[in-house]
Structure 1
Amino acid sequence: MLYLASLAHGFAVSAALIIAIGAQNMFVLRQALRREHVGPIVLFCATMDALLIALGVAGLGALLGQAPSLRLALSLGGAAFLGWYAVGAFRRALAPGALVAARGAQALTLGAALAQAAGFTLLNPHVYLDTVLLVGSIGAAEPVAAQPAFVLGAALASASWFCALGYGGRMLAPLFAKPTAWKVLELAVGTTMLALAISLLLRAARQG
């Protein structure tokens, strides 16, 4: 019962944090709509989440909580990356010829897609603050013997969400058959990324 309760606890905590419109989720959804490398991207995001959760429970979360300079560096680096991607999204929205839902036009290579997925995962301070620090600290409070069950539950929630987003997002493809729909999506992506970048800069200013 102890292990089952810890597994359910981990699943609930992770699900509550990951089901939100963030930079990583927006990228996965965009790739799902374009049907580009969805499987590898979902696998990468789920695997990295599981690894970060495990590291957080193992003690990385406590270390991060005691390193304000590292949090500042993550905030600045994340803001730069998100700002760069926001500019790209706005440029695509303003270029009608580039707004194509089908595969082939401006398609990312597998390496480029995974590199961007890595950026949204590893250069996003929210990943460390939520996945590593918060989930990690909650998991570390579990009995030592039950901590692996907590990590498993949290990882299952993450994998379930990315699978639903990546493969369920494809059902929205008919809505994006016209360039106008892609323009709206790219504007939404750009606005989300820009807002996140600004929030990170404001956090960095407060930390400084």
Structure 2
Amino acid sequence: MVDAIIHGFILALGLILPLGVQNVFVFNQGAAHTQFFKALPVIITASICDTLLISLAVLGVSVVVLEYNWLKTVLLIAGISFLIYMGFITWRSKTHVNADHKSAVSLTPKKQITFAISVSLLNPHAVLDTIGVIGTSSLKYVGTEKLSFTLTCILISWIWFAGLGIGGKVTRKLDKSGRLLLIFNKVSAIVMWGTAVYLGSTFFS
């Protein structure tokens, strides 16, 4: 069981650490809001989506997704469309600074949830990584070991997204002028567009 927990910890951390659209979006919302609890919709949504993907991967859905090319094509097209749209919205977003140097709220809870779902469930690269890597790795475990492996992967996701939100808030406090957040918005948009281009090249190749 210990081996399964360690394996799940290392694997989940390795998949979630790279700077991707999902991480950038969660961090950005943590930085854009005046209070941490206002960024909870995106943190909780992203965590639930990862929990769903990991659970489905372990349950064997990976076999279905990886087998049918048309399903991967649908995921790619939907993912590319959302990334282009979100990149446009993020690029145009502005951080306004008032008299006491506090930034205004960026996205409403509804938009946070909608966008978090799109970058989590409509990101083919993330979906295939989770399903392909975690789903395949879980095949070596059964019973309590498989449960321990799965719960560890899920726990890492929840801790990581909460940490991103906190990290964003800390950055916002240090950035009294709001300029850093404006730059981060531009970087976020570029990451989203870059991911869309990468996915598009994968699709056409």
TM over 0.5, shorter chain = yes
Q: Deviations over 1:11-52 (max 9, x none)?
A: 110110101111111110111001263223212211221221
| Secondary structure, counterpart of 1:135 in structure 2 | helix
Aligned partner letter, 2:151 = L
Distance (Å, rounded) in 2 between the aligned partners of 1:179 and 1:103: 7
Distance (Å, rounded) in 2 between the aligned partners of 1:33 and 1:128: 26
Q: Residue 100 in 1 paired to residue 96 in 2?
A: yes
Partner of 1:188: 187
Aligned partner letter, 1:100 = H
Distance (Å, rounded) in 2 between the aligned partners of 1:176 and 1:83: 28
TM-superposed CA distance for 1:144, in Å, is 4.0
Distance verdict in 2 for CA 1:168–1:186, change over 3 Å: closer
| Secondary structure, counterpart of 2:187 in structure 1 | helix
Distance (Å, rounded) in 1 between the aligned partners of 2:199 and 2:17: 20
Partner of 2:68: 67
Aligned partner letter, 1:54 = S
TM-superposed CA distance for 1:76, in Å, is 1.3
> What is the number of residues matched between the two proteins?
198
TM-superposed CA distance for 1:103, in Å, is 5.3
Contact 1:52–1:132 at 8 Å: present in 2 too? yes
Distance verdict in 2 for CA 1:103–1:187, change over 3 Å: closer
Contact 2:27–2:165 at 8 Å: present in 1 too? yes
Contact 2:103–2:178 at 8 Å: present in 1 too? no
Q: TM-score, normalised by structure 2?
A: 0.89
The range that moved more, 40-49 or 78-87, is 40-49
TM-superposed CA distance for 1:87, in Å, is 1.6
Distance (Å, rounded) in 1 between the aligned partners of 2:165 and 2:182: 20
Q: Residue 197 in 1 paired to residue 196 in 2?
A: yes
Distance (Å, rounded) in 1 between the aligned partners of 2:136 and 2:56: 10
Distance (Å, rounded) in 2 between the aligned partners of 1:91 and 1:53: 33
Identity, % of aligned positions: 26
Distance (Å, rounded) in 2 between the aligned partners of 1:18 and 1:201: 22
Unaligned ranges ≥5, structure 2 = none
Q: Deviations over 1:126-182 (max 9, x none)?
A: 221111221111112223442111101111111111111111321111343224323
CA RMSD for the aligned pairs? 1.7
Contact 1:12–1:157 at 8 Å: present in 2 too? no
Partner of 2:86: 85
TM-superposed CA distance for 1:79, in Å, is 0.8
Contact 1:175–1:181 at 8 Å: present in 2 too? no
Contact 2:90–2:185 at 8 Å: present in 1 too? yes
Distance (Å, rounded) in 2 between the aligned partners of 1:20 and 1:142: 26
Q: Residue 4 in 1 paired to residue 5 in 2?
A: no
| Secondary structure, counterpart of 2:59 in structure 1 | helix
Distance (Å, rounded) in 2 between the aligned partners of 1:112 and 1:91: 15
Distance (Å, rounded) in 1 between the aligned partners of 2:48 and 2:90: 26
Distance verdict in 2 for CA 1:89–1:111, change over 3 Å: closer
